[in-house]
Structure 1
Amino acid sequence: MKRARLPLLAVLPVTVIAVVVATPFVVGDHPLQWSSGSFMPHLVLDGKEPSGPAGSTSGDGKTSAAPSPTTEVAKVDKEWKKGMPQWGAQLYWEDNPKHSLAYIEKQARLHANYLVGLHANSVSISFPFFTGKLASTAVSRGDKTPTPDRLAGVLEIFHEAGLRTTIRPLMDEHSLKAEKGWRGSIKPADRSAWFASYEKFVTPYLKAAESEKAATFVIGTELNSLEGDAHWETVVDDAEKVFSGEVAYDANWDNYVEGPITMPVNHLGIDAYFPVKVDDDASVHDLVDGWDKWLDRKATGSLPKITVAEAGIGAMNGAYHAPGDFYTKRAVNPEVQANWYTAVCKVVQERKMSGVYWWSIYFDDDPNTKPDDKVASRLDFAGRPQSEKAIKTCFTSDYAGPGTTTAS
């Protein structure tokens, strides 16, 4: 039976927000088979299964250990149920075809245990797909795009830990930089061709999400220029024929506050990088006030159908003015990041939102190690004790969640 949708999410109080904003401030596969809880090899190169790196360093300055014997996966304190808050993180996965399944399993277990240690009950897996120029009419997988069956294997491990899972394809912006563009400014020369290509790309991932019983599939993220396009009706209708979970869309924070987000989905997420013009020593109260002023531009009071799908900030001086600045590396200031996390959590609870996902953890990183700030993104929070303490305090609060809600 077809599930009811929200009425194009244009009504303010029923807006469901997953706040994940990569704002330009510088503006036919099959599931894996399993045996004894481990991956069964499926990828063969030159007659041999490829091996993962024997202790490699990611581009974000963290070291991942070599694959080790399968370890037990910790279990969440309390599995997520409808009406409970989603407490989680965005796990960004740029795959490497040379990584063995043993390496992928090791990393998935590492991250599952880390998230459980933070008292998370949810995880969102973001991964890249690719296009050419702003006017390109096609999208595609690349070497960094995990295959649907490898994704299914990771999902199984997260479910073993009791984590609620979200799948989120995210357009890589590297090829758009030459035109000073970003994913929210693409202008396909032939929209029908673009949407046909996009649906062909996402369908195998929808099947993988269905086979592993993921909770949510984000059908699009921060595609500002394509929001409201009639082609989404077909894409979402076809997605719902394949995937029985929640079909969502994650909007950029700027578009969210500027007007209605008309997308034919069950839930709307917001990537939330609201700038707050305060000094580095601002109080949590002032940061909460800054967020409330932004949210009040759209709707006041409780926002039970809003999930902050992406929230984060650099652990550095001056970050409050541009939380979504992914590239600048000013002097490290852990307190800026920790206070921001505390403030965002207070906003989520006071306005009875559906939860928050912190940006981000990289799949190849070891989250238990301190970031190398010479090369690491300032937005990294794993390995920063003050930020981790703020997250644990948030995730162990007595906030029971927005409760069971129905579309109106």
Structure 2
Amino acid sequence: MNAIYPKPVRQFSFSCCLFLMALLANCQSTVPFVYTGKKMKGVNLVAPPQKPNDSTLMALRADNGTWVAVVPYGFCKKDDPHFYWHGNPPPGERRMGQWWGETPEGIAGTVAMARAQGLKVMLKPHVWMMGGSHLDLAFDKEADWQSFETDYRGYVLGNARIADSLKVDLFCITTELDKFSMARPDFWKTLIADVRKVYKGQLTYAANWDRFAQIPFWKELDYIGVDAYFPLDDAKTPSEKAMVRGWKKPMAELAELSGKHQKPILFTEFGYRACDHAAEKPWESETDCQPNPTAQANAYAALTAAVWPQPWFAGGFVWKWHMNERHGHRERDMFSPQGKPAEVALKKMYGGE
């Protein structure tokens, strides 16, 4: 054999084989993902202070909606290594002074109202940080990390048990704790494994639009969740055509991540205020708002045209939808499409597949 196949030829052939294997592996990792399920046509519900009627859920059904996200907040303070929720009130207090929709009773009641309208449910815990942004939650001391993680683990697992007891269709393990997620990946991977022990349904996580590619545990989940507040255009009243162009870069990044992990992309939040410059910094909620319902409706139409047909797209949840007749008109509430031209655009979006 050595006389027929000299050593240099064998080495060359082996190198070629390695090259071809690497090339094949690379090709396989970039195969586009194709989602074959039904798209989720959802909204993020604003937890009501008292038990509401279900008239706005009836309106959502009429708008072709099929899902709601129930959002029970928990609370912390900047640089405080403790977390508080209905199952863990602050020291000296018997219970949290939370709105009805954020309590276990309210969660169960909201789920029942949604089911009565034929709507599916995602339970989506969310952090409200006082004095800072939950996006940048972090600690310098290991003891503080561990203290916070003990509390937060209780919050997530408590909600996972509620989700399982109510047979909720999808559980979002948390919302936009991206810096925490990147700093403590082992904690999150263990937590996800523990959630799977108590909740039988599918899982996602809601990553912020500018950090979704850096989340270290997508392979542990069923959906890649993204809060899709991508900047698309800086015009006062951006056109649908301009915003469709603005979607090109984020869509390429989303498609790449979906192909890498072979998982669907779910917009755990998407929305625009009915204000001037609605698509310049869609995440802003506290800045001044010059009312502009056309800008909001155009942004919905652009998402319908650009994102909705993508093969990797599993649907999304509008931010936000009020569960009462009085939706409010404060600037921070201008995200809701209810009673605006954007609701007509949403109905058209949700009417298609």
Under TM normalisation by the shorter chain, which class is it? 0.7 to 0.9
2:85 aligned with 1:140 = yes
Note the C-alpha offset of 1:158: 0.9
Provide the C-alpha distance between the structure 2 equivalents of 1:124 and 1:280, rounded to a whole number of angstroms: 31
Q: Give me the whole-angstrom Cα distance separating, in 2, the residues matched to 1:154 and 1:165.
A: 9
* CA–CA separation in structure 2 for the residues paired with 1:236 and 1:374: 37
* Among 322, 327, 336, the residue aligned to 2:295: 336
1:221-300 to structure 2, matched below 5 A, reads 221-228=175-182, 229-257=185-213, 259-263=214-218, 264-299=220-255
Could you say which structure has the higher helix fraction?
2
User: Do structure 1's residue 194 and structure 2's residue 151 form an aligned pair?
Assistant: no
Distance 2:256 2:187 in 1: 32
**Which residue matches 1:360?**
320
**Secondary structure, counterpart of 2:333 in structure 1:** coil
Secondary structure of 1:254's partner? coil
Task: Output the CA distance in 2 between the equivalents of 1:143 and 1:391.
Answer: 34
Aligned-residue identity in percent: 24
> 5+ unaligned residues in a row in structure 1: which ranges?
1-10, 18-81, 400-408
Task: Determine if the alignment matches structure 1 residue 114 to structure 2 residue 50.
Answer: no
The alignment covers a number of residue pairs equal to 304
Aligned amino acid, residue 393 of structure 1: K
**Structure 1 runs of 4+ off > 6 angstroms?**
11-17, 301-304
List aligned pairs for 1:4-15, cutoff 5 A.
none
TM-score, normalization: structure 1?
Answer: 0.68
Q: State the match for 2:37 in structure 1.
A: 83
- In the alignment, which residue of structure 1 is the partner of 2:275? 316
The CA deviation at 1:167 is 0.4
Q: What secondary structure is seen at the aligned counterpart in 2 of 1:230?
A: helix
Q: Specify the code of the residue in structure 1 equivalent to 2:58.
A: N
Structure 2: which 5+ runs fail to align? 1-28, 87-95
Instruction: Look up the match of 2:351.
Output: 396
Shift of 1:134: 2.8
Q: Structure 1 residues 140, 208: CA separation in 2 closer, same or farther (over 3 Å shift)?
A: closer
Q: So what's the TM-score if we normalise by structure 2?
A: 0.78
Query: In the alignment, which residue of structure 2 is the partner of 1:380?
Result: 336
| Matching residue's letter, 1:124 | A
Q: Distance in 2 between the 1:245 and 1:323 partners?
A: 31
Cα deviation 1:57-82 (Å, max 9, x = unaligned): xxxxxxxxxxxxxxxxxxxxxxxxx8
> Residue 152 of structure 1 contacts residue 209 of structure 1 at CA under 8 Å; is this kept in 2?
no
Structure 1 position 295, deviation (Å)? 2.6
- Paired residues of 2:74 and 2:83 also in contact (CA < 8 A): no
- The secondary structure found in structure 2 opposite 1:237 is helix
**Other structure's SS at 2:267 match:** strand
Deviation at 1:16, TM superposition (A): 11
Q: Secondary structure, in 3 states, of the residue corresponding to 1:227?
A: helix
1:132-211 matches, within 5 Å, as 132-141=77-86, 142-144=96-98, 146-173=102-129, 175=130, 177=131, 181-188=132-139, 189=141, 190-211=144-165
Distance 1:260 1:197, change over 3 A: closer
Report the alpha carbon displacement of residue 120 of structure 1 after superposing the two structures with TM. 0.3
Higher mean displacement: 337-346 or 225-234: 225-234
Larger RCO (alpha carbons 8 Å, 6+ apart): 1
The one-character-per-residue Cα deviations of 1:344-403 (angstroms, maximum 9, x if unpaired) are: 12233231310021100234x32xx5x55455622121121x111101111112x2xxxx
C-alpha displacement of 1:156:
1.8
For the structure 1 residues 278 and 209, does the alpha-carbon distance in structure 2 shift closer, same or farther, using more than 3 Å as the test? same
Whole-Å Cα distance in 1 between the matches of residues 236 and 331 of structure 2?
Answer: 22
Which of 308, 317, 323 is residue 349 of structure 1 equivalent to? 308
Alpha-carbon distance between aligned partners in 1 of 2:204 and 2:257, rounded to the nearest angstrom? 23
Q: Deviations over 1:232-253 (max 9, x none)?
A: 1221122111110112111000
Determine the C-alpha separation between the residues in 2 that align with 1:335 and 1:312.
14
CA distance in 2, matches of 1:134, 1:346: 43
Q: How big is the shift at 1:12?
A: 7.1
Distance in 1 separating the partners of 2:196 and 2:34: 18
Structure 2 CA distance for partners of 1:261 and 1:285, relative to 1, 3 Å? farther
